[in-house]
């Protein structure tokens, strides 16, 4: 691998990470690499390559392919639950874990609160 690599940053807007990872070496050769990178607080991709960076047409092609990936993913989610149309299907929260103690303590608090409401006032 050549030690003299050019490094370029492009913003992540409309670019799917998997798509740019798959397409980069097709456009820039086998020595080109890409990784997530934040520049001045903005997320994007750092491209390292011995040659020039992606052209405007290549970036446009990557954006179109990224949109296709997101559209297929949205269609798959909608197919799983066709009765419910989501405004933002790709942003549907997915439960990673639930705290059992938080659920129990909230339930106990509600029971105590409801009990106080039922007690007759003196």
Q: What is the pLDDT of residues 86-111, one digit of tens each?
A: 666 555 556 666 777 655 555 555 55
Domain ranges of the chain: 6-91
Has this prediction a pTM greater than 0.75?
A: no
First to last CA, the chain: 86
Cα angle 6, 10, 15; round to 5:
130
Q: What is the pLDDT of residues 4-58, one digit of tens each?
A: 899 999 999 999 999 999 999 999 999 999 999 999 999 999 999 998 999 999 9
* Rounded Cα–Cα distance for residues 24 and 29 (Å): 8
* Rounded Cα–Cα distance for residues 42 and 122 (Å): 62
Of 66, 61, 35, 62, nearest to 48 (Cα)?
A: 35
DSSP 23-36: HHHHHH-TT-EEEE
């Amino acid at each position: 691998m050549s030690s003299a690599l050019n490094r370029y940053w492009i913003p992540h807007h409309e670019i799917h990470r998997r798509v740019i990872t798959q397409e980069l070496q097709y456009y820039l050769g086998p020595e080109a690499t890409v990784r997530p990178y934040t520049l001045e607080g903005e997320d994007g991709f750092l491209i390292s390559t011995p040659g020039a960076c992606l052209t405007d047409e290549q970036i446009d092609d990557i954006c179109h392919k990224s949109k296709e990936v997101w559209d297929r993913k949205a269609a798959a989610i909608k197919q799983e639950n066709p009765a419910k149309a989501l405004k933002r299907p790709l942003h549907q929260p997915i439960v990673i874990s639930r705290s059992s103690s938080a659920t129990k303590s909230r339930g106990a608090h509600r029971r105590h609160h409801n009990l106080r409401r039922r007690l007759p006032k003196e």
